[in-house]
Chains A and B, each alone.
Chain A
Amino acid sequence: MSENQAESLAGQYLTFSLREAEYALEIARVREVLDLATLTKIPRMPDFLSGVINLRGQVVPVLDLGQRLGLAPIAKTINTSIVIVEVREGESSLVVGAMTDAVKMVVDLADENIEPVPALGTNLKTEFIKGMGKQQDKFMVILNIDKVLTNNEE
Chain B
Amino acid sequence: MAARFCESTTQERPLMNDQEFTNVVCEESLELLQTLERTVLELEVVPTDLSLVGKIFRIVHTIKGSAGMVAFDRIRDFAHHLETALDQVRSGLLPVSKPLLDLILAAGDHLREQFIAPPAGNSEQEQNSAKILAQLAALSPAPARSTSPAAGGARAPKPPAAAAPTATAAPAGGYHIHLVPFPSFLANKGAIDTLLGELATHGTVTLLKEEEGPEVFWDILLTTSEELDAIHDLFIFVANDCRLTITAVADDSASSVPDHRRLGEILVARGDLSENQLHRILAQQQPLGELLVAEGVVSSAKVTSALATQKLLDDQRQQNLQGQPQDSIRVSSAKLDRQVNLICELVVVQSRLNQLAAEGEVAELQKNMQILERLTAEIRDNVLDLRMLPVGTLFSKFKRLVRDLATELGKEVEMVTAGADTELDKSVLDQLGEPLIHLIRNSIDHGLEAPAERSMAGKSTPGILRLTATHTGAHVVIKVEDDGRGLDPGKIRATAMVKGLLAAEQTLTPNELFQMIFIAGVSTATTVTNVSGRGVGMDVVKTTIEGQLRGTVEVESKHGQGTAVTITLPLTLAIIDGLLVRAATTHFVLPFAQIEGCLELTNQESAKNQQRQLYPYKNQLVPYVRLREFFALPGPPPEIEHLVIVAFGNQKYGFILDQIIGSHQTVIKSLGWVFRQAEGVSGATILGNGEVALIIDIAGVVALTS
Residues of A within 8 A of B (CB): 38, 40-45, 49, 52-54, 57-59, 61, 63, 89, 94, 96, 149, 154
Contacts and interface: CB of A to CB of B under 8 A. Distances in A.
Contact of A42 (B349, B670, B675): B675
Contacts of A42: 671, 675, 678, 681, 694
Contact of A43 (B348, B632, B677): B632
20 contacts: A38-B691, A40-B586, A40-B692, A40-B693, A40-B694, A41-B586, A42-B675, A42-B678, A43-B679, A45-B675, A49-B674, A52-B692, A59-B669, A59-B684, A59-B686, A61-B671, A61-B672, A61-B674, A63-B674, A94-B672
Contacts of A38: 690-692
Contact of B680 (A43, A89, A96): A43
Contacts of A52: 671, 675, 684, 692
Instruction: State which size class the interface on B falls in.
Output: 20 to 34
Given A57-B686, A61-B675, A94-B672, A44 B680 contact: yes
Contacts, number: 67
Given A43-B586, A53-B692, 14 more contacts: A40-B586, A40-B694, A42-B675, A43-B633, A43-B679, A44-B678, A44-B680, A52-B675, A52-B692, A57-B345, A59-B672, A61-B672, A63-B674, A94-B673
A75 B675 CA distance: 23
Nearest to A63: B674
A59 B693 CA distance: 10
B631 interface: yes
Contacts of A58: 669
B675 A57 contact: no
A54 B671 contact: no
Contacts of A89: 673
A45 B349 CA distance: 30
A3 B67 CA distance: 51
Nearest to B344: A57
A40 B695 CA distance: 12
A126 B348 CA distance: 42
Q: Which label, helix, strand, loop or mixed, suits the secondary structure of the A interface? A: strand
Contacts of B679: 43-44
B578 to A, nearest CB: 15
A89 B674 CA distance: 11
Contacts of B691: 38, 40, 54
B340 to A, nearest CB: 14
Contact of A54 (B345, B631, B670, B690): B690
Contacts of A54: 686, 690-692
Interface string B344-371: 0100110000000000000000000000
A154 B677 contact: yes
A44 B632 contact: yes
Interface centre among A41, A59, A61, A89 (most CB of B within 10 A): A59
Interface string B611-637: 000000000000000000011110000
A57 B688 CA distance: 11
Interface in B639-686: 669-675, 677-681, 684, 686
A77 B38 CA distance: 67
Which 6 pairs across A and B sit closest by C-beta, in order of nearness? A43-B631, A40-B692, A59-B669, A61-B674, A59-B684, A44-B679
A53 B692 CA distance: 7
Nearest to B341: A57
A52 B684 CA distance: 9
A38 B633 CA distance: 16
Interface centre among A45, A57, A58, A61 (most CB of B within 10 A): A57
A49 B673 CA distance: 12
B267 to A, nearest CB: 50
Contacts of B586: 40-41, 43
B625 to A, nearest CB: 12
A89 B680 CA distance: 25
Contacts of B345: 57
A20 B165 CA distance: 84
Nearest to B632: A43
B381 to A, nearest CB: 20
B631 A44 contact: yes
Contacts of B675: 42, 45, 49, 52, 61
A49 B675 CA distance: 9
